[in-house]
Each structure stands twice: as structure tokens, then as C-alpha cells.
Amino acid sequence: MGTRETAERAEALGGVAVAAHPYRFWSGLGEPETLRGKFPAFEVQNARTLHGGNRRARNLATLHERGATGGSDAHFLDEVGRAWTVFEDAHTEDGLLNQLGKGKTQAAGADRDARGILRYVPKAIGEWAVRGFRRI
């Protein structure tokens, strides 16, 4: 199933698909797939993505007038809550999905820091090797 079909299926089921970390090395969706998916929002603040990748994602979302999301993408307990999505005055699940689907969200939080790089790179290279050096 392709990117566009995945996003369309999520919407048909009442969800909202978000392009996750478009510019992350090794596991990023990439710009062409991010745009092909016609996502209403892009993840622009991922706490496990380097500053440059987050900045490029934020610029892409702005250029294409899409909403912004943030997420910790935590793989370790101490990473939980390092990035988040900001909603305006939404108190229900439907309200949150509505804002997300209309691109009315913001993102905040931290980028990957030096400690995260030292902890993540050996893990990522090991997983990449197990996959036969193929992207996810």
C-alpha cells in the first residue's frame, strides 16, 4: 500500500494521517512521499530528529499550508514528553481530530541532543543492518 492510499484509508476510517518525521535520516518518509500522501499535517517537531530535519519539515509544512505536529517518538522512558502537539481549545477527541485534519495545530519541544545521538546511533545502525541496509 502506498503513502497516498494509507492516508486516504486513515481518513475513511475517521482518523487523520500525519506525515511522520519527513526528513529523518534512515527512517524519514522523505519529501516526495510526504507530499504525495496529501497529509493535512506534518510532524515538524520530533524529539528524536536533528534540528535541521525538524526545521526542514516545519518549512515544508508552512510552504504547503499544512498543520504541524510534535511528538516525543520516545524509545526510552526519559524521552517521553520532549515534544508535543498544541491544540487550540479542543476538549474532545472529535475536536482534536477536527483541528488536526484542518491543519490548525502547532508543534513545540526539543530536537535530538548529543546524548540522544550517542544512545540512538548504535541502535539504529544495528536495526538497519538487520534490515539488510534498507530504509523502513
The CATH number of whichever domain residue 101 belongs to comes to 3.20.20.140
Residue 135, domain member (yes or no): no
Residue 53, domain member (yes or no): yes
Please compute Rg for the chain using Cα positions.
Answer: 15
Residue 79, domain member (yes or no): yes
Is residue 83 within 8 Å of residue 45, measured between CB atoms?
yes
Domain extent, residue 91, equals: 3-130
Grid cell for residue 29: 518518509
Q: What is the pLDDT of residues 36-73, one digit of tens each?
A: 988 999 999 999 899 999 999 999 999 999 999 999 98
User: What is the number of domains present in the chain?
Assistant: 1
Distance CA 39, CA 16 (A): 8
Residue 61, domain member (yes or no): yes
Is residue 74 within 8 Å of residue 80, measured between CB atoms?
yes
Distance CA 90, CA 88 (A): 6
Q: What is the pLDDT of residues 71-121, one digit of tens each?
A: 998 888 988 999 999 998 888 988 988 898 888 899 999 998 888 778 877
Residue 51, domain member (yes or no): yes
Is residue 34 within 8 Å of residue 24, measured between CB atoms?
no
